[in-house]
């Protein structure tokens, strides 16, 4: 599966560098074109000549050693690679790349590449468990890096535990499985909205709703996994960014409207999963509204209907809406599908307390313009997102045939 792939192998300074020699050999045997970058520390454990002989390519160790004056080596390598493997990745290397440092040939190349990066850590068991290392791993995961977990066993330091570099054949197996995953949305641009909006009453108070954004974020993660270029327009939520996804932060319904409309023309699919306010105070007060005796009356006005506007504007886009209902789910879902010129609608039963806005689980009904009607049973929102894309992709393919 790696036959013909251009693989850049980064080797850092740990005793496990000797395993990178076997990994290089196996990559070459699998048909990959391999080039190796070594840190200065790595050259203390294995000579560059070893990797040169195994890869049949020059080995790079110095960012200032420009062998070809017509090219900048680290940019050329970054552009050349189909994928990058860091094995072993020491605690020091993880800290440098997590903080965006570019102080040697390997780190400058990593900052410049857009290829998938697979990290295979190797270090002492206590180092691997240190809070700083854990934080660096989480940061790199948010950046979209892939990880190949270290194994348990006897370490060179004498400890027994987690931290041993995974065996070369297992590293290849993980990468091949990941690279072989179907990406039916590769080349497609998808915009997803998520979370609530906030509409100010005064400088202290605002109207909002209970949306957590979890469903929209799960959809963004799934779309990215399926190969799409994803833009996530998000209201204020307490969720971590989705690795590899462009996030546009908004607060009000008007801000979400502008963010979506500005990007709509270039999209292949739009999924509007956000819970946008239907009404806002007509006149927001620029100071704190004082408490008075008796009732308070606020005049509200309609916000712009984002989904209806998209339905009127669409030409080639596949448009998906969400509907939160408490009764007659199919009836109201079908009405909204037709009224707003959607290709599909996902209906949530918000009357079910077990699958409310803040829940990690959901169950939905999906209706499509082509006549499909499917109930997705209770499952995690990530599982629901996976099943939804199966339906959307099948429906899109039916439309183009």
Q: Name residue, tokens 């074109």.
A: 33
- At 355, list the tokens: 């699958």
- At 123, list the tokens: 């270090």
**Burial (0-12, 13-18, 19+ Cβ within 10 Å), 141:** middle
Give the catalytic positions in this structure: 157
Cis peptide before 199 (omega within 30 of 0): no
Handedness of CA 216, 218, 221, 224 (dihedral sign): negative
Alpha-carbon gap, residue 348 to 329, rounded angstroms: 8
Alpha-carbon gap, residue 48 to 120, rounded angstroms: 20
Q: Name residue, tokens 């109930």.
A: 375
340 marked as part of a ligand binding site: yes
Spatial neighbors of 349 by CB under 8 A, at least 6 apart, are: 325, 326, 329, 355, 363, 364, 365
Do 26 and 169 form a contact (C-beta atoms < 8 A)?
yes
Residue ranges for the binding site for CTP?
A: 278, 288, 322, 336, 340
Residue ranges for the binding site?
A: 278, 288, 322, 336, 340
């Amino acid at each position: 599966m790696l036959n013909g792939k251009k693989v850049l192998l980064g080797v850092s300074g740990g005793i496990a560098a000797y395993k990178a020699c076997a990994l290089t050999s196996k990559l070459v045997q699998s048909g990959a074109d391999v080039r190796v970058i070594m840190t200065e520390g790595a050259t203390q454990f294995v000579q560059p000549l070893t990797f040169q002989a195994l890869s049949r390519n020059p080995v790079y160790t110095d960012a200032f050693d420009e062998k070809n004056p017509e090219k900048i080596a680290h940019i050329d390598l970054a552009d050349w690679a189909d994928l990058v493997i860091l094995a072993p990745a020491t605690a020091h290397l993880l800290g440098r790349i997590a903080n965006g440092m570019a102080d040697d040939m390997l780190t400058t190349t990593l900052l410049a590449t857009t290829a998938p990066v697979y990290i295979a850590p190797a270090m002492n068991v206590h180092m691997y468990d240190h809070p700083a290392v854990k934080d660096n791993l989480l940061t790199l995961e948010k950046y979209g890096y892939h990880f190949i977990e270290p194994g348990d066993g006897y370490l060179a330091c004498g400890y027994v535990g987690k931290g041993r570099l995974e065996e070369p054949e297992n590293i290849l197996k993980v990468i091949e499985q990941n690279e072989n995953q179907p990406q039916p949305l590769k080349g497609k641009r998808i915009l997803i909205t998520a979370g609530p909006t906030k509409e100010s009453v005064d400088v202290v108070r605002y109207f909002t709703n209970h949306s957590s954004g979890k469903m929209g974020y799960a959809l963004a993660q799934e779309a990215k996994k399926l190969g799409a270029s994803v833009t996530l327009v998000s209201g204020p939520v307490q969720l971590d960014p989705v690795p590899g996804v462009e996030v546009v932060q908004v607060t009000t319904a008007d801000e979400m409207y502008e963010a979506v409309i500005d990007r709509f023309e270039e999209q292949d699919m739009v999924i509007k999963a956000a819970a946008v306010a239907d009404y806002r105070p007509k006149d927001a007060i620029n100071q704190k509204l004082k408490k008075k005796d008796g009732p308070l009356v606020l005049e509200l006005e309609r916000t712009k209907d984002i989904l209806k506007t998209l339905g009127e504007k669409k030409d080639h886009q596949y448009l998906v809406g969400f509907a939160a209902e408490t009764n007659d789910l199919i009836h109201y879902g079908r009405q909204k599908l037709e009224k707003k010129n959607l290709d599909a609608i996902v209906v949530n039963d918000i009357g079910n307390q077990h699958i409310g806005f803040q829940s990690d689980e959901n169950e939905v009904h999906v209706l499509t313009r082509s006549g499909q009607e499917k109930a997705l049973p209770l499952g995690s929102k990530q599982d629901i997102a996976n099943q939804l894309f199966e339906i959307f992709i099948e429906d899109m393919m039916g439309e183009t045939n």
